Structure 1
């Protein structure tokens, strides 16, 4: 299994999303922001998704698609999109297949207990399918704008 590495082709995947099956190969010719977040409707994840939503037209102008990924179900994602007006696809990765390709599943400390979960991470993939930048252990404030600046620089 290929792991994500800067300067290498991004790991290919096919997964179910809020717009139907989606694969990285069908995005070729456009840059892609692939952002992984822990859980729908939690404060940080909601803010992060809203930030990408608010800048989505600017991402499109930069020739870049935005795709969110979490382990939530499609039903949860559909409700999350409807509640917050998200117009980009969210991938339901309940089996952690895409998460494992990008190495975002980590041991985390939640209220004093060790749990496995998604480390908030974002990957920028160029129009040729090469991973050009990654952000791991993301802090939400200003993150989407920083990713947009990076997307513009490869556009």
Structure 2
């Protein structure tokens, strides 16, 4: 598992418009809230994505972009974004390579059957590419507000 102080693994993934997002392109310019979620159009994932979208301007005022990642494909992301009116960028990790890099692709046993799933997690990465906060098994409700508080502290810490 990645921890605070670790360097964020570099990656490139396509978004809902099939444009590539490269984490390295944000470094030196912006902080990144990178959150991993299981699937588009599920209640918790919709709540979380909508909440991040509703507060995107606030994150931007603190020099931060919000990026969501799930194994869903680009087309599914585009439909989800358009149906829910989302503004944040959603990346497709259909081969779960980035989920594995960040340690959020996990096995879970359900009714005696082992299944793989995305562990709902959020990483706050500073402009230098260092993970400042690694939050695992987060609950969608109220999560964005707590992440926003951490980002505000990060920006004020960097200003001193």
Q: Provide TM-score, normalisation by structure 2.
A: 0.91
| Shift in CA distance, 77/110, structure 1 to aligned 2, threshold 3 Å | farther
CA–CA distance in structure 2, aligned partners of residues 18 and 89 of structure 1: 7
In structure 2, which of residues 3, 7, 11 is the aligned counterpart of residue 5 of structure 1?
3
Q: Specify the SS of the correspondent of 2:138.
A: coil
How many corresponding residue pairs?
153
CA–CA distance in structure 1, aligned partners of residues 68 and 110 of structure 2: 22
Question: Does structure 2 retain, via aligned residues, the 8 Å contact 1:4–1:11?
Answer: no
- Counterpart in 1 of 2:54? 54
CA–CA distance in structure 2, aligned partners of residues 52 and 110 of structure 1: 30
Give runs of aligned pairs for residues 17-28 of structure 1, distance below 5 A: 17-19=15-17, 20-28=19-27
Specify every segment of 5 or more residues in structure 1 that has no aligned partner in the other structure, as ranges.
none
Specify every segment of 5 or more residues in structure 2 that has no aligned partner in the other structure, as ranges.
156-160
Greater mean alpha carbon deviation, residues 42-51 or residues 109-118: 109-118
Q: What is the Cα-based RMSD across aligned positions, in Å?
A: 1.4
- Counterpart in 1 of 2:65? 65
Give runs of aligned pairs for residues 34-49 of structure 1, distance below 5 A: 34-49=34-49
| Shift in CA distance, 93/150, structure 1 to aligned 2, threshold 3 Å | same
CA–CA distance in structure 2, aligned partners of residues 111 and 60 of structure 1: 43
